[in-house]
Every structure is written in structure tokens, then in C-alpha cells.
Amino acid sequence: MPPHSRHQLASRRTRRQLQQRRRNRRVAASMLVPAALTGLVMGVLWLGTGGSAESTAPRPAPAPALGPGARPPDLTIARAGQVQLRLPVDPNRLTAIAFHPLEDPRALELEPTGPLDHHDAPREDRPGPERAGVDVGAPAGTMVYAPVDGIVTAVSDYVVRGRVFGHQIGIEPLSATGVVVLVTHVEPHPGVRPPAVGEAVQAGRTALGQVPDLAPYLDQEISRFTADGGNHVSIQVSRIDGP
């Protein structure tokens, strides 16, 4: 066989180089496919456990709850003329709504409204309207919110048998003049500043305090309609001047 020319030798070297490059590309591709599959599987497993690029970043702590129970919805439970009384507690913590007479000649008759069930306590020789006051039952510690929009006109101790049981808060409603909404059976809550005279309050938005635990000290009338000791917040609407 005659010796190869220089041109032939160069051509053979070029073919071998091309063949080697093709083999190298096939080998590299065969290695990349398993690596890609492995990465995909690891990524799916990581995301399945809740992993993400953002999960490693610190998240702000949720805002602490204002108190036991959520803010109540805008739900009217009673009215007296132009004054509409809103539910003052979380409906999920509500134990009963009970209307009753009051020995207060200035108290106005309340008309039950809204979808919530209610009870009527017996008169038991008490003068005045049969529905002069409404007790809204809830466990002790439940946050109490203003039942009307208005201005706080008075904050005084609520005293029974010489013992102070929280406050009585007077609110002049924005919807009517010449009357005051009295909210009783409310004690201070550690995370809420007590309302002050002259401050504006919003129904279902402004926290007044919490329901006190009076069951060990008082025989609460609403307890005949509840499965507990009858802790509650009491509301009435009264004329400011005269009987």
C-alpha cells in the first residue's frame, strides 16, 4: 500500500477529532440527564415540605389578639326610638340575650330586633317597661365593645352591696338626643385603656373592657336561660332629664 500523502493524513486527523467531539458530547449528555432529574426530584420534595426561597426569611409575628373573642359584626339586637343597640360581644361567645324590667322610671322600652333569639324575664312586681334592659350573656373575660356610636359622658363604679363590680359607662348616642345608653357589668381589661369622659366610641369597634366574673357573688337573673352562672354585660337606654 503506498504511503499516505500529507493531505490524507491531515484529513484522517480531522475525522478522528470530529468523531472524538461527538463521543464527548454523547457522554456529557448522558451525565446531564440524570443530574437534571435528580435536581427536579429534590426540588419537588423540598417544595412539598413547604420549602421556598422565602421560607428562610424571618416573618413578622402576628398581631396579638385584643382580647378573648373577636369584634362583633354590625348586628342590631334592640332599638329604642332612633337608638339601635348593636351586639357588644363576639356572637361565638354569646350565651343568651334576656330582656327584663328595671326599677328605673327613666328607662325606655326596648324592642328586640335582628335574627338572634332572646328571652323575656318575668316582671316580678318591677315597675317600668317589661323590656327596659337587656342582658347579653358571655363568659367572664369576654371583650365588651360599645353598643352604639357616641360620646362617653360618664364612667362610674358599679357598686352592689357595698362592693365594686367594674364600671357603668354612659354613652350619648349620635343618633338621638336627650337619652343616654348605660353599659354595666364591664371591668377593665389589661390590654385596653378604660374609656374616658369626652371620648368618641364606635359600635362594635371600641373596646370598653371585659365581662367580669360575678357568678360567685351575685345571683344573676340571666342564669335561668344559660348553662353557666350568667355572667353578662347589661345595657339600657334612659332619658337624661325627668321620669
One digit per residue, the tens of pLDDT, for the chain of length 243 reads 444 455 454 455 555 655 555 565 554 445 444 444 444 444 434 444 444 444 444 444 444 455 688 999 999 999 999 999 999 999 999 999 999 999 899 999 999 998 999 999 999 888 889 999 999 999 999 999 999 999 999 999 998 888 898 999 999 999 999 999 999 999 999 888 889 999 999 999 999 999 999 999 889 999 999 999 999 999 999 999 755
The pLDDT score that the predictor gives to residue 22 is: 58
In this predicted structure, what is the pLDDT of residue 61? Answer: 43
Which residue in this structure is represented by grid cell 342582658?
135
Give per-residue pLDDT as tens, 123-150: 988 888 999 999 999 999 999 999 999 9
SS3 164: strand
Grid cell digits, residue 85:
343597640
First CA to last CA distance, the chain: 137
Other Cβ atoms closer than 10 A to 140: 17
In total, the chain counts a number of residues equal to: 243
If we measure between CA atoms, which residue out of 13, 21, 237, 202 comes closest to residue 128?
A: 237
Q: What is the model's pLDDT at position 19? A: 59
pTM of the model: 0.73
Q: Is 111 helix (H, G, I), strand (E, B) or coil?
A: strand
Q: Please, are residues 191 and 183 in contact by the beta-carbon 8 Å criterion?
A: no
118: nearest Cα among 76, 149, 90, 74: 76
Question: 84 is written with which cell numbers?
Answer: 339601635
Reference 136, options 231, 220, 67, 237; nearest CA is 231
Quote the pLDDT of residue 24: 56
Beta partners for 184?
168, 234
DSSP string, 139-197: -TT-EEE-SSSEEEEEEEEEEETTEEEEEEEEEEETT-SSEEEEEEEEB--TTSPPP-T
Residue 192, pLDDT score: 87
CA–CA distance, 130 with 108 (Å, rounded to integer): 10
Grid cell, residue 113, equals 330586633
111 grid coordinates:
324592642
| CATH tag, 76-239 | 2.70.70.10
Q: Where are the domains of the chain?
A: 1-59, 76-239
What's the CA gap between 44 and 39, in Å, rounded?
A: 9
